[in-house]
Chains A and B, each alone.
Chain A
Amino acid sequence: MTQLIISMIRCATPILLAALGGIICERVGVFNIALEGMMLFGCFFAIYGSYLSGSAWIGALVAMAVCGAVGFIFVKLTEDMGAEPTITGIGINTLALGMTTYLMKMVFGEGGSISAGNKISGFERIEIPFIKDIPVIGEILSGYTPLVYLTFILVPILSFLLYRTHMGISLRAVGEEAHAAQAAGLSVSRFRVISLIVAGMLCGLAGAHLSLGYVTLFSENMTNGRGFFAYVAVVFGKADPVSVMIAALVFGLADTLSTKVQGNGIPSSLVLMLPYVVTILALMVRSTMTGNGKKLFHSNLKTKEVKQ
């Protein structure tokens, strides 16, 4: 049971961290399906930064910088140039897969995967003093890599920022009613640009966690759909940080169970469907509860202008 919870937290963290970025995008009304690609960029550049500097933290910073830039490009394309966000997102995902594979070949001269021996330093696990000695709870709470703790600390922080600060209210206004926000004197596009940069940085951090915290290697397409799960978590949690965290934990649990339950006479192929079944069920339940399948907060200045 303790192992199950530990495993669930480990599996949920990369999804949650990227989903936090997704929440911000969703809240300012930008449809961002590029979480996957941004995360993949994060994975690669975290490894690259760590390889060059010998420090996992610098690796994470490099990942954040690169992904922030990717977020900036994304929002410039979709907002200023009016590009279709879905297609831009797919474009960035494809670009991320191609570019990281290509760069891996260029930089490390290896295809497929790199672990580069001891040259890449990953995050060390943190054993929290005192807490680690408490039975069961200590086991569950202690012994993760730093970004796991950071992720769960970011959830209440983001929640506070969104609901309790002036900035958060403006941010939500931009997403929910862009025209009203503009009339109130807020710069919609500035909000979106900054939000997307921050979201990109969070995705970069998620990638860094995957390649330096979760494992210490980079492998082609190593996100393997986790960014899409993150997006689903955002939709399921209606872009509310706490609900999204619960969604991410549910996915983490499903993922854990899909390997844990195997071998008791149940065919593995059935068990392995679990995460996907859970995803579909979650979305169904969610849309029945809210009574619509509409997009959450996609109030867009540009499309409205075009319609008139």
Chain B
Amino acid sequence: MKKKLAILLTTVLVFGMTLTGCGNDGGNTPAPEEGQNAESDAGNEEQPAENEEKEDQKEEEAGSDASDLKVAFITPQATGDNGPVDDIMLAIDRVKNDYGIEVQVVEALDTTDQEDAVRSFAAENYDVIFTLFQQFVEPVRKIAPDYPDTKFIMIYATDDLGMDNVVAYAYDAWETSYAAGVLAASMSESGVLGNVVGYEDDTIVANSNAFLAGAQTVNPDATVKRVNAASFEDPAKGKEVGNQLIADGADVIFTDAARTSLGVIEAAQEASGDVFIIGDNSDHSALAPSAVIGDNIYGYGNTLYNQISDIVAGKFESGVIVCSVGNGISVLQMYDDFGSDGASDELKSKYKAAVEATNEIIEKIKNGEVTVEKDTSAK
């Protein structure tokens, strides 16, 4: 009897775990639109060039040995986050269309799985392994020297590991956050802005500070209330936080919280007055056309796409590469069809003006007239 039970229970457990695995692996997240970087048509100074160019190149190159490239992407956060991971998943679709390269996607949600995932792909002679977020720095530091033929690309990491086969991409996301501040303050009536984050690290705090600085160029009295929801994956919590911020008078909320921000968007939609959202890392405009006024795209997807294009073209650079507004990878995406579900014309023209003001700032950041400092002080 006991034995049977043990077997039964184990089966239940194993079945459960298998399902967790199955549910996660695919890459077919919705692809709402193609033109990821509406704003990024200018300023491709150095290494990572523009997508449109790439699309021309690829026509000649596709069909060669590009599709033999074995590429893996290891994510510590589940797909379908309406944020960083989905941005990358869209880029993976683009890579597949343009180069015929099938990127193997693995979710390594537990810290313990992450090193194993990196090592097993390296051991299987993958040519390129992409990782996402800072926690992969240590595993890569350990593993990369053993596999010199594999290229390790760490998206969102700031450490230079000094190895020829490792590159880290860092993001000066405070530049777009500064522009987001301008956009937010231009749309805000109350001057009280919210910022919902899923975690607080240097970059996120710097973004928040830059957001405030940008807002104060428009409205010197603007204030930003930052709330750490302590999760990138809890929309219910996001809604609660959103409701709290709205009750405190915030009428534009800037999120850096992936899936948690879905709840914030819902809170904004249900609010009695006009409350606007600037989301992060994916296009949220389809969810709430009259609430989402912009999305702060760090450019994870562009990074992956450009990196694969370069490798296909035989280029590779190790070290740390900083992505910014300047090199066209990070963008603040704004929407021409804002308010398509019935916003008043008055609101639409207000938005148009706000977008213009914001674009002006973005131009100034690009040509160096405005520099946005990385300010990580607690405010």
Contacts and interface: CB of A to CB of B under 8 A. Distances in A.
B225 interface: yes
A167 B17 CA distance: 39
Contacts of B233: 219-221, 224
B226 A263 contact: yes
A111 B9 contact: no
Most buried by A among B200, B228, B247, B378: B228
Contact of A259 (B227, B259, B266): B227
B80 A111 contact: yes
A111 B89 CA distance: 11
Given A77-B8, A91-B9, A94-B13, A111 B225 contact: no
A74 B259 CA distance: 31
Contacts of A87: 9, 13
A88 interface: yes
Interface string B4-16: 1100110011011
Contacts of B248: 3
A306 B286 CA distance: 61
Given A112-B80, A113-B82, A263-B226, A217 B266 contact: yes
A259 B15 contact: no
A109 interface: yes
User: Which 5 residue pairs of A and B lie closest in terms of their CB atoms, listed nearest first?
Assistant: A112-B80, A98-B19, A101-B23, A111-B80, A94-B16
Contact of B231 (A81, A95, A115, A224): A224
A180 B241 CA distance: 50
A225 to B, nearest CB: 9
Interface in B212-240: 225-231, 233-237, 239-240
B227 A102 contact: no
A260 interface: yes
A219 B225 contact: no
A127 to B, nearest CB: 13
5 contacts: A81-B8, A90-B13, A111-B79, A115-B287, A220-B233
Interface of B: 1-2, 4-5, 8-9, 12-13, 15-24, 26, 28-30, 78-82, 85-86, 200, 225-231, 233-237, 239-241, 243-244, 247-248, 259, 262-263, 266, 287, 378
A159 B368 CA distance: 68
A99 B28 CA distance: 18
B378 A112 contact: no
A262 B378 CA distance: 12
Nearest to A100: B23
Query: What is the predominant secondary structure among interface residues of chain B facing chain A?
Result: helix
Contact of B227 (A98, A263, A269): A263
Contacts of A113: 80-82, 235, 259, 262
Contacts of B234: 219, 222, 224
A272 interface: yes
A216 B13 contact: no
B149 to A, nearest CB: 32
Contacts of A172: none
A11 B280 CA distance: 25
Contacts of B19: 95, 98-99, 101-102
A202 B108 CA distance: 33
B23 A104 contact: yes
Contacts of B79: 111-112
Contact of B20 (A94, A115, A267): A94
A101 B107 CA distance: 13
A97 interface: yes
A7 interface: yes
Given A91-B9, A113-B262, A224-B231, 4 more contacts: A98-B21, A219-B262, A255-B240, A263-B225
A42 B32 CA distance: 29
A156 interface: no
B235 A219 contact: yes
Given A81-B5, A105-B23, A268-B200, A97 B16 contact: yes
A304 B109 CA distance: 41
Given A91-B9, A94-B17, A272 B236 contact: no
Interface string A92-124: 101111110110110001111101000000000
Most buried by B among A91, A224, A255: A91
Contact of B236 (A83, A84, A92, A210): A210
Interface in A212-259: 214-217, 219-222, 224, 255-256, 258-259
> How many residues of A sit at the interface, in one of the four size bands?
35 or more
A142 B29 CA distance: 39
Contacts of B263: 215, 217
Interface in A66-98: 77, 81-84, 87-88, 90-92, 94-98
Contacts of A268: 200, 226-228, 230
B230 A101 contact: no
Nearest to A91: B12
B16 A98 contact: yes
Interface string A118-145: 0000000000000000000000000000
Contacts of B262: 113, 115, 215, 217, 219
Interface in A1-23: 3, 7, 10-11, 14
Contacts of A256: 240, 244
A105 B78 CA distance: 13
Contact of A10 (B4, B82, B226, B240): B240
B235 A215 contact: yes
Nearest to A252: B240
Given A101-B23, A112-B81, A267-B378, A224 B244 contact: no
Contacts of B86: 112
A112 B78 contact: yes
A113 B85 CA distance: 12
A258 B20 CA distance: 30
Nearest to A109: B28
A255 B238 CA distance: 12
A114 to B, nearest CB: 8
